[in-house]
Structure 1
Amino acid sequence: MTSSVVGAQEKVVYRCPGNLYTDALSAKEAQAKGCKTLDGAPITVIQSGVRPAAPKAAASGGGAPSERVQSDEQKARDADARRILEAELKKEEEALAALQKEYNNGQPERRGDERNYQKYQDRVNEMKAAITRKEADVAALRRELAKFGAASK
């Protein structure tokens, strides 16, 4: 019995930022993360149980077949989703067009603070990456809209 008490006393518990308590860190790791040791302070661990409201929330999301959404309501939801996607697509296409105009086929105008050619090249590369991301966003929105295309048109 004494060995288990001694073993328990050798465990060092650390309090890390964000109210995280752990005994799984080494002294170096704890210091690097900004954790402080707890000296003789009793720690109580409370296990959280399953909340009874969780199954009800999942069922209201349409998971249960007995609670199916009415056809009219589903059509309204689909129409709303399509309208939102179309608005988002329009906004993204406008942003893409503005980026492409500023990019000017890889030859954007130099700014006054870009006397150093490397600064200019860095900005051109950032613009190219931004255009690539916008094109991917537009393509993704078009794919999402295509899911509604056959049913809505």
Structure 2
Amino acid sequence: MKTRYALIPFAAFAFVLGASAQTAIFRCGNSYTNDKAEAAAKNCKLVEGGNVTVVQGTRVTGKPVNVATAPQTAASPQRVEAGDQKARDADARAILEAELKKAEARHAELVKEYNNGEPERMGPEHKNYQKYLDRVADMKAAIERNEKDIAGLRRELGRTGGSAAK
């Protein structure tokens, strides 16, 4: 509370300084200026008693503005040595083959569990047939997704030159 009262004299002082900074304003037709030389040259009239707000603008220095530009010559991408590229390709091929094996194993597991659309019923599914149907539909969707994954992996292996066993 004391700090509020202590700030009041500072605020009043700042207000007085702002009020004393008023300069003479001249009207030149539809424009206003505070430059006495310009007002005398254009025969402008002094505005008295009016409420004119003066906004100080920025001054133009005349120096050119530095604008960042793109380099004129495009930098060439770094070339990878043939040995390094072959090693990367071999690593990528090995990863794809491992993923394909996992996907095929998962597919075999899903097909076995699906049992041609008639999987074994689990505990609560004996009483609630809809739960059983939902689980069968989820299994079928999972098998279809897995088949699409396998097809995508085989396509990718075909692009890299790997063996895509069907």
Could you tell me which residue of structure 2 aligns to residue 133 of structure 1? 145
**Cα-Cα RMSD:** 2.1
State the aligned residue count. Answer: 89
Check if 1:81 corresponds to 2:89: no
Deviation, 1:96, is 0.8
Higher relative contact order (CA 8 A, sep 6+): 1
Bigger share in helix? 1
TM-score (structure 1 length as normaliser): 0.55
Structure 1 residue corresponding to 2:160, chosen from 143, 148, 151: 148
The secondary structure found in structure 1 opposite 2:123 is: coil
Equivalent residue for 2:135? 123
User: Which letter maps to 2:133?
Assistant: Q
Aligned to 1:91, which of 88, 92, 102?
102
Residues 125 and 83 (structure 1 numbering): CA distance in 2 closer, same or farther, change over 3 Å? same
**Aligned-pair distance for 1:97?**
0.7
Give secondary structure in 2 for the equivalent of 1:107.
coil
Structure 1 unaligned segments of length 5 or more: list them: 1-58
| Partner of residue 105, structure 1 | 116
User: Structure 1 residues 141 and 83 mapped into 2: Cα distance closer, same or farther (>3 Å)?
Assistant: same
Report Cα offsets for 1:13-36 as digits up to 9, x if no partner.
xxxxxxxxxxxxxxxxxxxxxxxx
Which residue pairs with 1:69 in the alignment?
A: 80
Report how far residue 102 of structure 1 moved: 0.1
Q: Compute the TM-score of the two structures, normalised by the length of structure 2.
A: 0.51
2: distance between equivalents of 1:114 and 1:70? 60
After TM superposition, the runs of 4+ consecutive aligned structure 1 residues lying more than 4 A away are none
Distance in 2 between residues matched to 1:150 and 1:142, nearest whole Å: 9
The Cα of 1:113 is off from its aligned counterpart by: 1.4
